[in-house]
Structure 1
Amino acid sequence: MKNIWALLICTVIFPVLVTGCSEIDNKALSDSKNENKVTIKFHSHGNEKSYNWKNTIDAFEKKYPNIDVELVILSEKGDTQEATKKLDLAAASGEQMDVIMFSESASYSQRVSMGMVAPLDEFIKKEGYKVSEEYKVDTEINGKYYALPGKFNPWYVLLNKDHLDAAGLKIPKDWTWDEFMEYAKAMTRDGHYGTYFHGPQNGSWMEYLRLALASEAEKTEFTTDDGNSNLNHSLFKKTLEIRVKMEKADQSAVPYADILTNKLNYREQFFNQAASSIIIGSWMNSELGGTEINPLNFNITVAPFPKNDKADIGGYTPVTTDYMAIAAKSEHKKEAYTFIRWYTTEGQIIQGKNVPSWNKVSDRELTKIIDKILGGTKNPERIDEDSLIHVLTNSKSSKIISPVPNQAEIYKVLNEEYEKLIFGEQNIDRTIEVSQERVQEILNNNK
């Protein structure tokens, strides 16, 4: 009888022990896998609608199963100012940060100077490529790379093709600022202006005060790399001459007073055909075929950002991108770099929302991306897609110049002096003289 009970006990207990051991082994294996798995936190200003994050991150995690990406959207409405404030707050509170996305060069370079981000040179050297050959956008600061560029949004000239045809003008493939002015003058007819400049306004949209400067490969800002004023540059003067000539002499640009008084918007000015052209960033790609708010009732073509002289190398233009950086305090820098490098290359193609900065995107892939972007608009058939692709393919960014402290104060000064010029209170030479004095004083006070 004892032997029977012993046999029964062994029969019951043995499978339990085996199952228990098996469960322990499986748990150990799972724990081992989890130990090798790293979660990186990615702080971004971009929302899901604009960046297709779910599909993009899913694709990355499928390719790199040992890395989980935890997305932190800093502004659900895509407000970059709100995002920057929340980013700084997260950094100050000691929150885990691994990958950081900056929306523009000033925010990026300021956080570099604050020590918020880590250099990527070690990873780049190990992989063996040159950033200048690999990407269209320059991200170098003081001889080091602290970010890789994501999207590529160069500025270009949008033209009303119907107005162009009515004036007997050809689509510009390579042109100068003088030719741009001639085109605008020729299209100023039938109750509309040849062009519309959306800035400067309240110290913002300052690209419109450095038009000729922005056509160059370097020294394109109001200040220099060594923190001095660049307002004595001949191309700053040329920009002022362009603005005054077009508004006062040619009367081909919407008057600055009207912009302020009527709170005009560049989208409405162009889509309502009040202006035949606008110089603007290619974030407009997703709206070119018209939207519910701004339907398209005419044909559109695209021209490159004008250059200064016929002999100049063309294609230089203001460019906006997403600067993908590694947080200086990240404990997972290798994994963060893996994500950044993937995202700024094949990840851009998978995301399918923007033109990539990556130079190795094929013509077929670029066309596919453009087709998808334009296909989301109301009337893509009205867009000259060939000209758009030509411009995007041949555009390039200038050398980045680090912003200076109190840059907003400098912008405000330049805005004030420009208004004195355009309202006839002072001439161009006086505008440059006073601007130079005031800006240099601000710079000196911050040294």
Structure 2
Amino acid sequence: MRNRKRLVAGLTSIVAVSLMLAGCGGNGNSNGGVDGPTTSASAEPTATASADPVKLTMWGAVPAENGPQEVVDNWNKENSDIQVEYVRFVNDEAGNLKLDTALMSGQPVDMYVNYDYSLYEKRIKAGNALDISSFTDYDVNEKMGEGAAFWKVDDKYYGVPTQKGLSFVWLNKDMLDAKGLPVPTEWGLDEFRDYAAKLKDDKVWGLAQSDYYFNVPINGSMLKQSLQLTNPDGTSAFDNPLTVKALQVYSDMMFTDKSLMPHTEQITSKPALDQMFVKGESAMLFSTNQIFRTTNNVAEFPRSFKVAAAPAPKVNMDQADYINAGGLGDVVAINPRTKHPEAAWKFIKWYADGGMLPMAAGGRVPSSKDFPVDEAVALMFKGVEDTYDLDSIKRVMFGSLPLGLSRLDRKTGSEQQAIYDNVFSRKLTPEEGAKELARVHNGNLQTTSK
């Protein structure tokens, strides 16, 4: 019996030693994954370890079904070693708070899209955006043009601006043709007003425009001075003759020409301006690429006329230094806490130069010079090509208009909106409105400088 016990004990020891030796042999990567310790020269990675892909998450505000999901699906099919998941957040106060909380709390965010400069700058200052200057294989200035530099902070890029977000004017080309009016390639507010007056009739407004766009010609006239729209001495530039003229022209269109729906009536009735345009109730519409969702939807909004495009009007036709407010946007940044910055960078380059093609169907205009423009246009107007004046669309959306980005803070913008409301309800004259715009701006400039 005693010998039998010794035999069992001996066998047990042999098995234990064998297991220990097995545990020490083979792959030196104790984690069995791509981020574990480096293996020795003689060690071979296991098949499981080599097959594990890098996993990245990209946060953006566009609904997945409007392009982003197809983008990541295309990438994932072509890159089995790097797999990307798209996470949507809503681009409002609550949605941006959700993204910022995720960045600060270490939730899985490898890449994310910025839509607002002030939030982008705050994320950089908070250490939540990677300085991409260490990547030397992609020249953002050369790829995206001069408009990209407005997204520099302390002369560095912390993301890649991937799309053009300019505002422009949509036109009912059939109505223009009936009046013998050419599609404008350049114009000022006087010409803009003249077109609206000639195109209106008892059942058609000459122009439909929401209050968001009243400041586009104004800001575009001042961007040459400063991204903050200030004079060289640091004071607000809003109190100037160009601002007064813009406010006066819009007031005249509402109350003298009656070619533009009065502001108070628009606030009260809350019309769907894009639907007014496609229904032929307005000859022109000041908007952005968001109108594609309506103009392309000919099943729900059938129309017989062709849609053309013209650039946003300058205040004065002869302004050589006018800059189109809006500029580049959709800035894709890398979370500095990601474990895979190189993989994220590889995806962003691919996305900017061609991968974001499915986003074009929803009207997002790629900014990279290397993007296949004809493919983007074909996607944007697939099935409805004959209902657009494509030459004018290409000229405006894919042309070389000088683009700028206003860095006016949100507080000033919100407070200035109340002043526009007062001007266009005739509680303030255009001259008084310009002074009030400057007063509010100067007050906030002093607050932020302290």
Query: Could you tell me which residue of structure 2 aligns to residue 288 of structure 1?
Result: 295
Q: CA separation in 2, counterparts of 1:140 and 1:232?
A: 28
Given the alignment, which residue of 207, 215, 218 partners 1:209?
A: 215
Structure 1 residues 146-295: aligned runs within 5 Å: 146-199=158-211, 205=212, 207-214=213-220, 218-219=224-225, 223-224=229-230, 229-295=236-302
Partner of 1:59: 74
2:144 maps to 135
Matched residue, 1:33:
50
Per-residue deviation at 1:396? 4.0
Match of 1:44 in 2: 60
Deviation at 1:278, TM superposition (A): 0.9
**CA shift at 1:27, angstroms?**
9.3
Matched, 1:74 2:89: yes
Structure 2 contact 217–312 (Cα < 8 Å) conserved:
no
Deviations 1:164-202 (A, max 9, x none): 123221121222222112111111224322112211xxx
Counterpart code for 1:357: S
Please state if 1:334 is matched with 2:342.
Answer: yes
- C-alpha distance in 2, partners of 1:88/1:328? 13
Query: Which whole-Å CA distance do the structure 1 matches of 2:310 and 2:189 have between them?
Result: 12
> Out of 360, 369, 385, which is 2:370 matched to?
360
The superposition leaves residues 283-312 of structure 1 with CA deviations (integer Å, 9 ceiling, x where unpaired) of 223432444443324232211222333362
Give secondary structure in 1 for the equivalent of 2:427. coil
C-alpha contact 2:103 2:335 (8 A) present in aligned 1:
no
- Aligned residues of 2:160 and 2:331 also touching (Cα < 8 A): yes
Structure 2 CA distance for partners of 1:186 and 1:228, relative to 1, 3 Å: same
Report if the CA contact (8 A) 2:220-2:322 is conserved: no
Bigger Cα Rg: 2
Q: 1:344 and 1:61 mapped to 2: Cα distance?
A: 16
Q: Which amino acid aligns with 1:47?
A: P
Q: Structure 1: how far apart are the matches of 2:118 and 2:245? A: 24
Q: 1:423 to 1:71 in 2, by over 3 A?
A: closer
Cα–Cα, structure 1 residues 72 and 419, in superposed 2: closer, same or farther, change >3 Å?
closer
- Matching residue within 339, 347, 351 for 1:343: 351
Aligned pair in 2 of structure 1 residues 321, 128: CA closer, same or farther (>3 Å)? closer
Which string of whole-angstrom CA distances, capped at 9 and with x for unpartnered residues, describes residues 394-438 of structure 1?
15463434453xx23x23321222222222222122222233223
2:420 maps to 418
The one of 114, 119, 126 equivalent to 1:114 is 126
1:309-324 alignment runs, 5 A limit? 309-310=317-318, 312=320, 316-319=324-327, 321-324=329-332
Structure-2 change in CA distance of 1:105 and 1:412 (3 Å): closer
Which consecutive unaligned segments of at least 5 residues does structure 2 have? 1-21, 28-42
Distance of aligned partners of 1:342 and 1:128 in 2 relative to their CA distance in 1, 3 Å threshold:
closer
- Find out whether 1:400 has 2:405 as its counterpart: yes
Q: Residue 232 of structure 1: CA displacement? A: 2.6
Residue type of the partner of 1:389? K
Distance 1:401 1:314 in 2: 13
Q: Residues 47 and 88 (structure 1 numbering): CA distance in 2 closer, same or farther, change over 3 Å? A: same
1:368-404 per-residue CA deviation (whole Å, 9 max, x = no partner) reads 322222225xx54221122111211215463434453
Deviates more, 1:42-51 or 1:56-65: 56-65
Residues 434 and 321 (structure 1), Cα distance of their counterparts in 2 relative to 1, 3 Å cut? closer
Output one character per residue of 1:78-116: Cα deviation in whole Å (capped at 9) or x when no partner. Answer: x55453132022123221322111233343233223332
1:49 counterpart letter in structure 2: E
Amino acid at match of 2:144: Y
Take 1:285 and 1:311, find their aligned partners in 2: how far apart are those partners?
30
Q: Is the 8 A contact 1:61 1:68 kept in 2?
A: yes
How does the TM-score come out when normalised to structure 1?
0.80
Identity level (%):
22
| CA deviation map 1:135-173 (0-9, x unaligned) | 154222331111112233422211112221232211212
- List per-residue Cα deviations over 1:242-274 (Å, max 9, x = no partner): 222222233221111110111122212212322
Distance 1:235 1:51, change over 3 A: farther
TM-score by length of 2: 0.80
Which of 81, 87, 98 aligns to 1:86? It is 98
Rounded to whole Å, the distance in 2 between the matches of 1:389 and 1:322 is: 20
- Is the alpha carbon distance of 1:222 and 1:279 closer, same or farther for their aligned partners in structure 2, counting shifts above 3 Å? farther
Question: Do the aligned partners of residues 420 and 346 (structure 1) sit closer, same or farther apart at CA in structure 2, a change above 3 Å counting?
Answer: closer
Q: Mark the CA change 1:114 to 1:229 in structure 2 (over 3 Å): closer, same or farther.
A: farther
CA distance in 2, matches of 1:272, 1:319: 29
Instruction: Report the Cα distance in structure 2 between the residues aligned to 1:350 and 1:255, rounded to whole angstroms.
Output: 38
Pairing 1:389–2:401 present: no
- What is the alpha-carbon distance in structure 1 between the residues aligned to residue 269 and residue 133 of structure 2? 49
Instruction: Say if 1:167 and 1:187, in contact at 8 Å, map to a contact too.
Output: yes
Cα drift, residue 234 of structure 1: 4.1
Give the drift of 1:228. Answer: 5.2
Q: Which residue of structure 1 aligns with residue 9 of structure 2?
A: none
RMSD: 3.1
Within 2, Cα distance between the matches of 1:290 and 1:220?
39
For 1:418 and 1:315, locate their aligned partners in 2 and report how far apart those are by CA, in whole Å: 21
Q: How many residues align?
A: 405
